[in-house]
Amino acid sequence: MAPSPAILLKNGRIIDPVNKIDKRGSLLVENGKIKALFTSRQKAPSASKLVTFDLTGKWIVPGFIDMHVHLREPGEEYKETIESGTRAAAAGGFTAVACMPNTDPVNDCQSVTRFILEKAATAYAKVYPVGAISKGSTGDSLAEFGEMKEAGAVAVSDDGMPVLDSQLMRRALEYASSFALPVISHSEDLGLSRNGVMNEGFLSTSMGLVGTPRVAEEIMIYRDIALADYTGFPIHIAHISTAESVNLIRLAKNKGCRVTAETTPHYFTITEEAVRGYNTNAKMNPPLRTKNDIKAIVAGLSDSTIDAIATDHAPHSMLEKDIEFDKAANGIIGLETAVPLTLALVRKKAISEARMVALLSVNPAKILGVEGGALTVGNAADITVIDPKKRFVYREEDIVSKSHNSPFLGMKLQGRAVLTICSGRITHNDLDR
Ligand SMILES: [Zn+2]
């Protein structure tokens, strides 16, 4: 690849909670790295070979890291590819994504991990492969963690499926810790959730649909916390959706248990009401819950019970979504809507700007043990520029992802990433639009 030109990001509001910076200033990017940071009192350099952006009114923040996406490659390239998925990531303000192993074949060995990383070499964002916990993610026997780690996997998970066998999960925690691999749990009791297609409650009954009770999620989170507590090894809980899940994690953290958790923008933005009309773009697992759950999740995001916002970006084509609700696939795309949906919480003062950056960058980097999360001079230049005021309607024709399955289509949103820089390379530029 040709060397990228030096870039000067001028007059933006620099928000970097790690370095305790929240002030107007400028950043100089050179040779893929952050070369210098100037606050307003110092004078930024001016040179003829610089690409300069005047970012008055915009935020300059450490590149966002989505620790939970599905890129569908290998195996389901008609839904998404590593290239199209990372283009969507860049368009949404992400400089890195961690991709779940439920591809075809499952990423449970070094050849699949290597394949993903080879494709990622020319992608629009850094790609961190997550290897499977069990071979084929069938829950029967552990995959080769060491082999996958050596090939470049950053974590292990059977996401899409829970690890039902508690002994296998215990062994996974022990085995993963010897390779310093975080374990990410998709917490779901399949006995309780079997056949469920939406949140169990009055609405599911009135729509004649089988519900998934909230306790299907909570019971497994409780087990996962108990295993982390017993073994002393850390565990990360994926996509939490209920008020009681937040409570369980809060209690566990207060007790000193090494648990971290993520939620997604859809769980703090919309409720099961979105399913009305049998809208398959509102079908996901775990399902959308209620207003009370949203309240608890927002409280958890604010008080650090929940560590990260991930999207669980799950592209599906019309083939899987334009069918009966019962039969439709679970999941929605999320990379291009995460920033505006999270900014809505900032505008409501439910979370601060710095907290937003922690949830989308600092903490995902920390949990996965990857670079990023700070605008420290010398770091790789992974930078997201946000226009918090920009209003737009989320339209199908503007979607960068190959798939269009989103419940937010047609919604008026505010704030978005207008410039994304990954290792000094501009991967998204929407400043002139
Ligand atoms: Zn999952």
Distance of CA 253 from the midpoint of ligand 1 (Å): 22
Q: Which of 68, 11, 12, 25 is nearest to 306 (CA)?
A: 68
Q: Give the confidence band of 25 by pLDDT, cuts at 50, 70, 90.
A: very high
Residue 43: per-residue pLDDT: 72
Distance of CA 264 from the midpoint of ligand 1 (Å): 11
- Look up residue 64 and give its amino acid: F
Residue 400 in this model has a pLDDT that exceeds 60: yes
Distance of CA 238 from the midpoint of ligand 1 (Å): 6
Residue 3: per-residue pLDDT: 64
**What angle (nearest 5°) sits at the alpha carbon of residue 340, between those of residues 337 and 341?**
75
Lowest mean pLDDT among 15-19, 38-42, 180-184, 215-219: 38-42
Catalytic: which of 224, 293, 312, 382? Answer: 312
The span from the CA of 341 to the CA of 269, in Å, is: 7
Distance of CA 375 from the midpoint of ligand 1 (Å): 31
- Look up residue 418 and give its amino acid: V
Residue 5: per-residue pLDDT: 85
Residue 363 in 3-state DSSP? helix
- What percentage of the chain's residues is helix, strand, coil (to nearest 5)? 30, 25, 45
Tell me the H-state helices in 92-236: 110-120, 145-151, 166-177, 190-193, 202-207, 215-231
Percent of the chain exceeding pLDDT 70 equals 98
Q: Give the confidence band of 47 by pLDDT, cuts at 50, 70, 90.
A: low
- Look up residue 70 and give its amino acid: H
Distance of CA 159 from the midpoint of ligand 1 (Å): 4
Q: Which two three-digit tokens encode residue 98? A: 């961690």
- Model confidence over 323-339: pLDDT tens digits? 999 999 999 999 999 99
- Model confidence over 113-166: pLDDT tens digits? 999 999 999 999 999 999 999 999 999 999 999 999 999 999 999 999 999 999
Q: How far is CA 395 from CA 360, 392, 417, in A?
A: 24, 9, 16
- Regarding beta strands 7-16 and 59-62, do their DSSP bridges make them parallel or antiparallel, or are they unpaired? parallel
Chain-centre distance of CA 19, in angstroms? Answer: 23
Global pTM? 0.97
- Identify whether the C-beta of residue 325 lies closer than 8 Å to the C-beta of residue 197: yes
Map tokens 């305790």 to a residue.
20
Residue 421: per-residue pLDDT: 98
The span from the CA of 53 to the CA of 27, in Å, is: 10
- Model confidence over 65-99: pLDDT tens digits? 999 999 999 999 999 999 999 999 999 999 999 99
Q: Which two three-digit tokens encode residue 155? A: 């974590």
The span from the CA of 67 to the CA of 273, in Å, is: 27
- Model confidence over 347-398: pLDDT tens digits? 999 999 999 999 999 999 999 999 999 999 999 999 999 999 999 999 999 9
pLDDT, the chain, mean = 96
The span from the CA of 251 to the CA of 143, in Å, is: 31
The span from the CA of 404 to the CA of 223, in Å, is: 35
Mean pLDDT of 190-200: 97
- Regarding beta strands 412-422 and 425-429, do their DSSP bridges make them parallel or antiparallel, or are they unpaired? antiparallel
Q: Which two three-digit tokens encode residue 332? A: 């929605």
Q: Which two three-digit tokens encode residue 291? A: 């207003």
Query: Quick check: is 312 catalytic?
Result: yes
Residue 262 in 3-state DSSP? strand
Q: What DSSP string runs through 307-356?
A: -EE---B----HHHHSS-TTTSPP----TTTHHHHHHHHHHTTSS-HHHH
CB neighbour class for 177 (10 Å; exposed up to 12, middle 13-18, buried from 19): middle
Q: What are the residues facing 34 on neighbouring strands?
A: 29
- Model confidence over 278-305: pLDDT tens digits? 999 999 999 999 999 999 999 999 999 9
Distance of CA 243 from the midpoint of ligand 1 (Å): 18
The span from the CA of 160 to the CA of 181, in Å, is: 19
Distance of CA 254 from the midpoint of ligand 1 (Å): 25
